[in-house]
Amino acid sequence: MSFQRNLTIPHTPDHLLFLPMPGIIIRPRARILHGHDWVYSSEVLKIYGNPQDGEVISIKDGRDRMLGSAIYQSQSQIIARRFSYQRQELDRDFFMRRVQRAQEYRDRIGIDPLVRRVLWSESDGVPGLIIDRYNSVAVMQTLTLAMDQRRDLIAEVVKEVLGVETIIERNDSSSRKLEGLEMRTGVLLGETPKEQEVMIGGMIFLMDFLQGQKTGFYLDQVTSYRDLAPWAQGARVLDCFSNQGAFAIASARAGASEVIAVESGAENIPRLKAHAHANGVTIGVIGANVFDYLSQATRRGEKYDLIILDPPPFTRVKKGISDALRGYRELHFKAAQLLAPNGRLATFSCSHHISAAAFHHTATEAFHDARRSARQRHIFTQSPDHPIVLALPETEYLKGYLFEMFNSF
């Protein structure tokens, strides 16, 4: 397995622009012909030039027309991921332009420059590369072989463009296995950071960049914390799958009469309590399985004005869709039983393979089973530093709804 040629040079010399680039010829109905950037192995008509895994290749159609440059991985079901419509090397200049362009977009839409998703994979033209920033620390994941091979170069560019002091590698995601990559965590540049306080959405959180949540925090929900908070004013709130406690803290800060946070992960309980203390709010923290807790609360006859459901993905593969939908339906049914007459349910799914329509339908069915009538009051989506690209439906994964109960006519 070889590294990409000319990896460390700032520009591709003119005399190399005319060297033959290895590549693939795609079949007539491949989705890349309709704007998508992925090529599946079943869509390949021919491979030429003996490309190596992690290498940059060209994509051509059956008429020998160039469709762009892509990263190649023969061991993956997605054999090629396009990152440019032109002939392009993955060199220093390329990464410099990608990082700068991504920051210009986020600056333009008003994302906090010190706490943000810096790069998000295909949405920013860097397949498999994810970078979050928390003040002076950047946390990086390289989930494709091509990006992993170039992680040192990427770290140097990120440090130069962002001016951060430390770059952490959090390559402990199970998705790396799909590319045959090992798990790895550590410091790429700078000193090992101590635990730090980071202000996110007006709230204080304690960050352990090497041991905490993947790239540090669920930045995709930052706008949801803000949008849901006003609905918590004066309400008795139950925050399920609380994790770091962000929804619970946002609710308490907004003036909720009571907030109870339920979290099954024992390692998250001390941190959740510490976050509540750091923000000067009172939250009842309960370590329990959410499904069990909801059933027990129903038997006790409890009622809540606002219930928040933000579970981890119920499935990461297509074959798990049916089980995931049953899980969401059961969760919505249990929550519906606990809602006050005009109570509200905020429910989220970050399962990539679950469509918004299917997720919405599980709530409709669950409310019917629970003999509750509901109105839709708000739609949530991922924060704008996780851009949704229309031609790449996979870039839209987080969906959420706020439903309000009402008496049937």
240 is catalytic: no
Q: How many helices (H) and strands (E) does the chain have?
A: 9, 20
Helix (H) or strand (E) holding 95: helix 92-108
What contacts 338, CB < 8 A, 6 or more positions away?
238, 294, 297, 298, 302, 303, 304, 307
The answer to whether the beta carbons of residues 246 and 224 sit under 8 Å apart is no
What contacts 301, CB < 8 A, 6 or more positions away?
none
What tokens appear for 119 in the block?
């790069």
Helix (H) or strand (E) holding 228: helix 222-228
Q: Which of 246, 350, 363, 398 is catalytic?
A: 350
DSSP string computed for 173-226: -GGGGGGTPPPEEEEEESPPPPPEEEEETTEEEEE-TTTSSTTSS-GGGHHHHH
What tokens appear for 358 in the block?
């299917």
Identity of residue 363: A
Closest by alpha carbon to 17, among 119, 113, 91? 91
The answer to whether the beta carbons of residues 55 and 47 sit under 8 Å apart is no
| Number of other residues whose CB lies within 10 A of the CB of residue 9 | 13
Alpha helices in 347-386 (DSSP H): 356-369
The answer to whether the beta carbons of residues 124 and 386 sit under 8 Å apart is no
What tokens appear for 128 in the block?
């498999």
Q: Which residues face 141 on adjacent strands?
A: 130
The answer to whether the beta carbons of residues 250 and 319 sit under 8 Å apart is no
Residues counted in the chain: 409
Closest by alpha carbon to 189, among 159, 145, 162? 159
Max CA separation in the chain (angstroms): 76
What tokens appear for 375 in the block?
């109105």
- Give the residue numbers annotated as catalytic, written as ranges: 350
